[in-house]
């Protein structure tokens, strides 16, 4: 019995040593060999939407710039206007395997307006970089556009009767864009809210509203015989020569346009980030590979094919812009009408 007991004890000790060694070896491999498995790009909306498409394009072309060329997958976590995805990534293991797609303006606003729901701190994410930001346009019907050929015409029209703007819901980008536009130009605007941007666009075609302000990508797909982009909220005519005149050419004062575009809720930079305590070497690896991705012709062509464009900025540089963005958003949050 004594011999058998001793034999059993020896087996237990050897097995324990083997298990501990395996665990140590695995963790050693994990730390040194990142990435070893698929990396998720966490998207805060359901499949098929605007942000989802961008996430999928990034997931398609990014792996070739990573060591080990591991695959990247999109994980859709919808709910709470995207806040849920950010909350979950914030508290996830900071191992570099979850990259959150950040809607900067929306998340800054959420942090200000719903502090009890938001678990993350925008200034504390470790940013990989910005890959694009919105260029918005003023979209209206052809018959309305024919009457307001300049900014002054628009002002005169609004003096007779406030312009009706359709939105995809209170707090949606169409709504916040409209509020920012009205605030900076002092044009009176009334809002008609719909449960989604598609319904908002259809209402324009049904002649229920006069205009809406939305991102250039979906606006360009609207039927040009019915709807017209009156002007683009951008002062770079070279970038959108075939689309429509810039806001400056339309007659909007330069300081007003700058104030509108500088508002991060309006410009809606889209960035990628990882949780705060992610190891510095992993963050550097992601930043380096991200920049190679952003400067590649293949990525640019893929985004262009999808009707989108890149406007990249390195993570470290994006982080420097954050304090000003937070301050601008907090000021804007005071004028944004609250829901009831």
CA distance linking residue 35 with residue 68, whole number of Å? 7
CA distance linking residue 271 with residue 128, whole number of Å? 7
Residue from the set 223, 255, 280, 334 that interacts with other proteins by CB under 8 A: 223
Residue from the set 69, 123, 149, 206 that interacts with other proteins by CB under 8 A: 206
Nearest distance from residue 329's CB to other proteins, in Å?
Answer: 18
- Regarding 300 and contact with other proteins (CB under 8 A), the answer is no
Dihedral pair phi/psi, residue 41, rounded to 5°: -100, 115
- Regarding 178 and contact with other proteins (CB under 8 A), the answer is no
Q: Which residues touch 232 (CB under 8 Å, ≥6 apart)? A: 135, 136, 137, 216, 240, 243, 244, 245, 246, 247
Residue from the set 135, 209, 265, 272 that interacts with other proteins by CB under 8 A: 209
Nearer Cβ to other proteins (214/248): 214
Nearer Cβ to other proteins (190/254): 190
Residue from the set 64, 117, 152, 324 that interacts with other proteins by CB under 8 A: 117
Quick one: which segment of 97-105, 186-194, 229-237, 317-325 binds other proteins (CB under 8 A)?
186-194
Dihedral pair phi/psi, residue 267, rounded to 5°: -75, -20
Quick one: which segment of 31-39, 170-178, 235-243, 279-287 binds other proteins (CB under 8 A)?
170-178
- Regarding 251 and contact with other proteins (CB under 8 A), the answer is no
Residue from the set 35, 81, 94, 312 that interacts with other proteins by CB under 8 A: 81
CA distance linking residue 298 with residue 300, whole number of Å? 5
SS3 177: helix
Nearest distance from residue 283's CB to other proteins, in Å?
Answer: 25
Dihedral pair phi/psi, residue 222, rounded to 5°: -70, 150
> Which phi-psi region, left, alpha or beta, contains residue 101 (left: φ > 0; alpha: ψ -120 to 50)?
beta
- Regarding 338 and contact with other proteins (CB under 8 A), the answer is yes
- Regarding 121 and contact with other proteins (CB under 8 A), the answer is no
Hey, what are 34's tokens?
Answer: 């990142």
Total of residues contacting other proteins (CB under 8 A) = 59
CA distance linking residue 318 with residue 129, whole number of Å? 6
CA distance linking residue 121 with residue 87, whole number of Å? 10
Nearer Cβ to other proteins (77/271): 77
- Regarding 297 and contact with other proteins (CB under 8 A), the answer is no
- Regarding 323 and contact with other proteins (CB under 8 A), the answer is no
Residue from the set 120, 194, 231, 240 that interacts with other proteins by CB under 8 A: 194
Q: Using N-to-C axis directions, what is the helix angle for 315-335 and 280-294, rounded to 10°?
A: 90
Quick one: which segment of 31-39, 120-128, 268-276, 300-308 binds other proteins (CB under 8 A)?
300-308
Contact yes or no for 106/81 (Cβ under 8 A) = yes
Residue from the set 124, 153, 208, 317 that interacts with other proteins by CB under 8 A: 208
Contact yes or no for 46/67 (Cβ under 8 A) = no
CA distance linking residue 224 with residue 29, whole number of Å? 56
**Contact footprint for other proteins (CB under 8 A):** 46-49, 52-53, 56-57, 59-60, 73-81, 83-84, 87, 116-117, 164, 168-172, 190-196, 198-199, 201-203, 205-206, 208-209, 218, 221-225, 305-307, 337-340
């Amino acid at each position: 019995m004594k011999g058998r007991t001793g034999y059993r004890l020896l087996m237990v000790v050897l097995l324990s040593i083997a298990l501990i060694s395996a665990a140590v070896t695995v963790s050693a491999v994990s730390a040194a060999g990142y990435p070893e498995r698929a990396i998720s790009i966490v998207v805060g909306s359901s499949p098929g939407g605007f942000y989802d498409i961008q996430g999928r394009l990034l997931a398609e072309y990014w792996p070739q710039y990573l060591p080990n060329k591991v695959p990247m997958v999109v994980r859709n976590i919808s709910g709470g206007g995207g806040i849920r995805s950010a909350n979950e990534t914030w508290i996830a293991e900071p191992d570099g395997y979850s990259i959150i797609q950040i809607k900067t303006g929306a998340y800054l606003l959420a942090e200000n307006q719903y502090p009890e729901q938001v678990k993350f701190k925008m200034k504390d994410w470790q940013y990989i970089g910005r890959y694009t930001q919105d260029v918005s346009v003023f979209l209206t019907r052809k018959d309305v556009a024919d009457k307001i050929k300049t900014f002054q015409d628009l002002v005169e029209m609004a003096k007779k009767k406030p312009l009706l703007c359709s939105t995809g819901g209170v707090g949606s980008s169409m709504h916040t864009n409209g509020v920012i536009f009205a605030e900076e130009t002092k044009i009176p605007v009334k809002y008609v809210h719909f449960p989604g941007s598609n319904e908002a666009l259809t209402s324009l075609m049904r002649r229920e509203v006069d205009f809406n302000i939305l991102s250039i990508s979906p606006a360009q797909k609207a039927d040009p015989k019915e709807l017209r982009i009156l002007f683009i909220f951008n002062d770079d005519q070279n970038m959108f020569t075939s689309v429509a005149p810039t806001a400056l050419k339309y007659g909007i004062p330069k300081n007003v346009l700058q104030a509108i575009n500088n508002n991060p809720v309006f410009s809606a930079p889209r960035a990628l980030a990882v949780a705060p305590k992610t190891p510095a070497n992993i963050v550097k690896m992601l930043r380096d590979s991200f920049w190679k991705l952003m400067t590649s012709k293949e990525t640019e062509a893929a985004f262009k094919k999808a009707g989108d464009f890149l406007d990249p900025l390195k993570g470290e540089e994006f982080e420097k812009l954050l304090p000003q963005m937070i301050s601008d958003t907090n000021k804007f949050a005071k004028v944004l009408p609250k829901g009831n």
